[in-house]
Structure 1
Amino acid sequence: MLNKVAFVIIGLLMTQLDSCEKVDIVIKEDLAGEWVLKNVFLSDAMDSPCGWEVEKHEPLTLKVAKDGDNYSISGKSAINSYFGSLEVISFDEKSRTGKIQTSPIGSTKMAGPENLMNCETRFLSQLDTATDFAFDDNGELRIGNFRDENSHPRDGGYYLIFEKK
């Protein structure tokens, strides 16, 4: 009897380990890589990466690399380069949506025109406070704070929309 119980427990543990590894592989393949910010969703409207203030700017980028159990992130914002880490807390393979936590994001400290500095501040702040991520049907990556059941009816959330390079 004891052997049967032990066999069932070991079988369940092996199933759990196998399913965790599969999800990690799916996330790693989809999340890792170089991304370019295409749009920003602000509650109920789509905005350009730097908003109405800036017509021309260098692409805002996000590079995600697997780093042990977490991911390192880096890239170029409107003026400076930035770096940090990202931890995937959960991921639902069916909805392709998950929860994340970013480390405080560091950056170089070059100054630039006020409108580009405002763009950079918005971008890094949204990345730094993001709690959600998802992949849409087109393979775009969305990182930010999504609307949920506790959100105000007028709050559609906000998120950064990246396209893979």
Structure 2
Amino acid sequence: MPEAVTKAMPELAEIQTVIDRFARNGMRGALLPLLHALQEEFGFVDPQAVPLIAEALNLSRAEVHGVVSFYPDFREQAPARHVVKLCRAESCQSRGSAAIEAELVRRLGIGMGDARPDGQVALEPIYCLGLCAIGPNALVDERPVAGIDRAAVERIVAEVTA
């Protein structure tokens, strides 16, 4: 988990402080940089920030929500402590990612796109890490892991459940 993530549920005043950094300087096109700043600060874009952002940037709530929900890297809830993103692109599929996914699902006890109730680990799909020649591939806490086999699954599971 990035060091900047310090809270699961930010206070409205904390959210407003981040928004003000962008809204007060008249930055054109401030929505994406602002969303990135909120996610960096809190680990996710809290839904209670949407109306505050909309008002500060003179946008509709629907516009702000549309951007947050469109980009898969923006989270609307606090992330799990560890996140395993398994590539589902064609090259990794042809190199056995379905079997790796089944093993991760079995070993972690969660489905693809789910997180464990204890918040320890989430399993998410990702589409192409650019390591196609050595797949199947994953990101484990944003660290690339290439050429995953059953031994690598063992190491990944041990790392994220420790």
Please give the TM-score of this superposition, normalised by the length of structure 1.
0.23
Larger Rg: 1
Higher relative contact order (CA 8 A, sep 6+): 1
Which structure shows the higher helix fraction? 2
Of Structure 1 and Structure 2, the greater strand share is in: 1
Q: Please give the TM-score of this superposition, normalised by the length of structure 2.
A: 0.24
